[in-house]
Amino acid sequence: MPSPAFRLFNVMLSSGQSPDLILCNVLIDCLSKAGRCQDAIQVFLSLSERNLKPDSYTFASLLSTICRSKMFYLLPKLVLVSRHVDADLVFCNALLSSLTKADLPSLAVGFYDHMIDEGFVPDKYTFAGLLSALCCAGRVDKAVNVYHGVVMSYHDIDAHIHTVIIVGLLKTGKFHKAVSVLRFAVMNKYPLDTVAYTVGICALLRGRRTQEACTLYDQMKNDGMLMVYKQNIKHQAEDNTEWNLILDTSSSEDLSDVAASVGWSLMLAM
């Protein structure tokens, strides 16, 4: 609801209130999500006029804006400007992901190594960014090894990490490796959500494993996820963090393939 938000913002300005850094950060993030990326950048540029110094959250939000608008030529400038800010894990994770989306996966892998050298403790978003970067860089064996190490060493890893590695392998055409990862996740009873199931079905169909795709579809039904998927897919795509992450790392062609895989699975299972 950007229009009511800006009416409220204008009321605030007309009453003599001045936006602080927190409000500007929220504005940058909301404008970016509303597709108004140029306006988001203008808010960032206006900070100096208000004598406000951007923090790591400002730059993390701006990274999201750059990725949504695909204005990747701004990345070097942003990194240069942000060098005086105390970077936190949120900003580093955002930069790691942005470098991969800017088709600079090798730099992303190098930046991950830099993060570790600087003493950052990686979280699930860091590992997701690293796995995407390794796959995009063509280092699929390394990506699979890192994936196995992460899921066996960290007990709080959720379904998104399985989705990321499967999507990364699918993008590089490594369908059988994607199926292998899926089998590993299912065999070890790792948590899989609707997104992980969907890309898993896609991997099986791409690998010409139709019967296994049907079996996974049946398991999805038995786990009660199919009804949630068919009824709430639009809501999930807009509001669910894991859906947004997978949408951010997939091209429209990939998403069409995923949707087609679900359709095929529905027909095959009937």
Domain boundaries along the sequence of the chain: 18-84, 87-139, 158-270
Q: Is the pLDDT at 262 greater than 80, yes or no?
A: no
pLDDT of residue 135: 95
N residues, the chain: 270
Which residue in 179, 181, 117, 191 sits closest to 154, CA to CA? Answer: 191
Compute φ and ψ for 255, nearest 5 degrees.
Answer: -65, -35
| 123: confidence class by pLDDT, cuts 50, 70, 90 | very high
Tokens 């850094």 belong to residue: 21
63 residue type, one letter: L
Per-residue pLDDT tens for 133-176?
Answer: 999 999 999 999 999 999 988 877 888 899 999 999 999 989 88
Two structure tokens written together for 150: 């992460």
| Radius of gyration of the CA atoms of the chain, in A | 20
Burial class (CB in 10 A: 0-12, 13-18, 19+), 235: exposed
186 residue type, one letter: V
Compute φ and ψ for 190, nearest 5 degrees.
Answer: -70, 155
Q: How far apart are CA 112 and CA 223, in angstroms?
A: 36
CB 166 within 8 A of CB 196: yes
Q: How far apart are CA 167 and CA 171, in angstroms?
A: 6
Q: Is the pLDDT at 256 greater than 80, yes or no?
A: no
CB atoms within 10 A of CB 163: 27
Per-residue pLDDT tens for 242-254?
Answer: 334 433 444 444 4
pLDDT of residue 190: 86
Average pLDDT over residues 75-84: 83
Per-residue pLDDT tens for 184-206?
Answer: 988 888 888 888 888 888 888 88
pLDDT of residue 231: 44
Two structure tokens written together for 98: 């942005």
Q: How far apart are CA 144 and CA 198, in angstroms?
A: 19
